[in-house]
Chain A
Amino acid sequence: MELAEKLEILADSAKYDVACTSSGVDRGGRHGSLGSCVAPGICHAFTPDGRCVSLLKVLYSNACSYDCSYCVNRRSNDIRRATFDPRELAELTIGFYRRNYIEGLFLSSAVVATPDLTMEKMIEALRILREKYHFRGYIHAKAIPGADPLLVRRLGYLADRMSVNIELPSADSLQRLAPDKKKSAVLAPMGQIAAESKQNRRELQLYRSAQPFAPAGQSTQMIVGASPETDRHIMGLTEALYKKYSLKRVFYSAYLPVVEDSRLPALTTRPPLLREHRLYQADWLLRYYHFSAGELLSEEEPNFNPYLDPKCCWAIRNPAFFPVEVNTAAKEDLLRVPGIGPKSALRIIQARRMQHLGMAELKRIGVVLKRAQYFITCNGYLGAHGTRAEIANALLDPKAFGVGVQQLSFDDCMPKALPDAAPELHRLTAEGMDVLQAAALLKQEAVTCITRQM
């Protein structure tokens, strides 16, 4: 099979894996080798679905011997199959890397024959990259559940980031939809990677020459919308994963029906993109805003509000916390204000050492005041007074009501609900309502509903 076709098949099979970041390591270039890494990571392209391409994301092979029901590569699916050769994959990575197409390689694989055999091939490809080409760019490698711990270990010394996909948010769902995988088979390598990283950090402190083990840590991914778990359950799981396995990132992937299966949502189901977005927002709140999962959702309210981001939701439920005085508040408190993020908070703290901050100063600092103004005071003065309806309007997430023209064919230029708009908007338009009218109606309802909560 020709290389181009292989690449196409194996990229296509890998594309549902969402993690494509190259973040977490800083490693300058060095003579005699090729490549470098920068901690925030670099995106290199954006596909028409708006997702970033940072790494050459491919499967080593898509010829799977397992049969997970939600997956395109499952054994019983009739698709084109391909498998790389370690050498050709390494060459491809280098060619793309030199042209600045990518930051490195994201290698994962279907289970070819056995997990061990698959891992050995993957390791060989990475070994060629690191040892023959002296590649210092980024490598993200996925450990295959069920592989020998020794192989997981070897992979970790070649990769920057490792991941094991937890796939589904609960053991029940996993058993129902991925009968070949056991929860323990997923958690075992995760635990091993966490333990090895910890030990490696200690070694690196003692000996400078020690080889780093997955210096960018590990991440995982789960599919949302294929199984019945609530957002609250997912956030609880996320928090536990961060704590227990010191994961760097948890990724969510909106379930996209690829196969007809009575255990799964119908093929016509839209991927829950807005829900995925809310989960990511909440995930950020955990990682950068000092929120805990328990603060975001409750038993009575187990799912995120489609029309509000989780932080605004929290602000509405906790009016007693506000207003926050920008000239004196602690960083954690600033971070709770809708519209103030980590960057703005940092700038506020730096700038207020030099001068008192009023609204004009905040604006110059680059703080977006649309939402924040109702929740802050500057030297005792409230940023802005607003009626409940005005505040609710400012807090609404425009994404939920997204309408746009997306030309899929030449004679098609009618405005439509964007793919990541609220499900309710899609439902109304599917019932035949004009999309702009539907968006206006929904917005009205959302404002009414929010003002009632305030």
Chain B
Amino acid sequence: MHYQADVADVVYRYDGTMQGFLCCVFESFRRRELPCGICSPEEGRLTLFPEREIATDPARARRVLTGIERLGGGVRQRFMTAFLSTDPEKEQILLRYLRLAFATGRGVDRMLGDPDVAAAWQLERAVNGEAHHFLEFIRFEERDGMLGAVIHPQNMVLPLLRPHFCSRLPDEAFLIYDATHGIAMLRRGNEVRYLEMEDYDRETSPEEQQWQMLWKRFFRALTIEPRRNERCQRTHCPRRFWRDMCEMQGGCLEVPGQSRKALEEPRNA
């Protein structure tokens, strides 16, 4: 370890927000200690060690954040992104990373050979990787002129999707519903809001169904049978994304007035 702190037999409990976590970092510095656990409200209350409730104080949080910003964009970005992870160890990993960062100064983000930095980097990579998959695999549907999509991410990826989709759809209203965490990101006009949401009904209008049918048939027509390689398909597009991708669902290929046979007629007969 490159900094002065003792592991203390205490568990911090905080409110789960980034501000709250920054206050945990503050506490850890003030007491020169490393807690043996940091728990958010979602995590079970059973711990072996005495707990200490860490109050969220915006002023303290601000101070820590300013400190982080002084360490450079790379450090800040890694922290912000990794914090979106839902890994149960993330608080511990990030606390160690930040303590090392404050002790080492700028450039710490490039010390990937260090175990603490590498651990934070892995978190960041996992979150970014997942977010990138959603840039690829989100499927919008249109309802009353507005676009809506459902996703089931492991991590809290919505904030990372925001810049991409706002740039891609500059004049559209859209909503992305994170069904895992019950949060929706709503963009309307020049404003983006995050809302709690419980449920999302899929659109069933004939026009929307028609678009999905077109897409599915396009998707199917593109497949080259002699090259079939489903393992390769799954490495690029893991199964957990399929549930929200319309082309991976069966059905809906039929068009009224057209028999199935016409679709399956071999082409090079």
Residue in B169, B233, B262 whose beta carbon sits within 8 Å of that of A46 in the complex? B233
Tell me whether B113 is interfacial, beta carbon within 8 Å.
yes
- Are A44 and B136 within 8 A (Cβ)? yes
Residue in B110, B221, B236, B255 whose beta carbon sits within 8 Å of that of A351 in the complex? B110
Query: Which of A11-19, A241-249, A304-312, A428-436 lies at the binding interface?
Result: A11-19
- Are A354 and B268 within 8 A (Cβ)? no
Interface mask (A37-52 → B, CB under 8 Å = 1, otherwise 0): 0100011111111111
Tell me whether B26 is interfacial, beta carbon within 8 Å.
no
Interface mask (A208-245 → B, CB under 8 Å = 1, otherwise 0): 00000000000000000000000000000000000000
| B29 → chain A closest CB, angstroms | 23
- Are B224 and A256 within 8 A (Cβ)? yes
Question: What is the CA–CA distance of A82 and B167 in the complex, to the nearest angstrom?
Answer: 35
Query: Which of B34-42, B55-63, B76-84, B211-219 lies at the binding interface?
Result: B211-219
- Are A49 and B166 within 8 A (Cβ)? no
Chain A residues with Cβ below 8 Å from B136 are 42-45
Chain B residues with Cβ below 8 Å from A360 are 113
Query: Which of B12-20, B85-93, B137-145, B194-202 lies at the binding interface?
Result: B137-145
Label chain A's interface by main secondary structure. Answer: loop
| A253 → chain B closest CB, angstroms | 10
How many interface contacts (CB-CB < 8 Å) are there between A and B? Answer: 192
* Residues of B within 8 A of A (CB-CB), count: 60
- Are A98 and B147 within 8 A (Cβ)? yes
Chain A residues with Cβ below 8 Å from B219 are 45, 47, 53
* CB nearest neighbor in A for B257: A2
Tell me whether A33 is interfacial, beta carbon within 8 Å.
yes
- Are B263 and A8 within 8 A (Cβ)? yes
Chain A residues with Cβ below 8 Å from B237 are 45-46
- Are A4 and B267 within 8 A (Cβ)? no
Question: What is the CA–CA distance of A271 and B225 in the complex, to the nearest angstrom?
Answer: 11
Tell me whether B31 is interfacial, beta carbon within 8 Å.
no
| A423 → chain B closest CB, angstroms | 14
- Are B231 and A98 within 8 A (Cβ)? no
Chain A residues with Cβ below 8 Å from B233 are 46-50
Tell me whether B258 is interfacial, beta carbon within 8 Å.
yes
Q: Report 15 cross-chain contacts, Cβ distance below 8 Å, ordered by A residue.
A: A3-B214, A7-B218, A8-B263, A11-B221, A34-B172, A47-B222, A47-B233, A48-B223, A48-B228, A49-B233, A99-B140, A271-B226, A361-B112, A361-B114, A362-B113
Closest 8 CB pairs of A and B: A50-B232, A361-B113, A364-B118, A29-B167, A49-B227, A11-B221, A29-B170, A50-B229
B: residues with CB less than 8 A from A are 107-108, 110-115, 118, 135-142, 147, 149, 164, 166-172, 211, 213-215, 217-233, 235-237, 245, 247, 255, 258, 262-263, 267-269
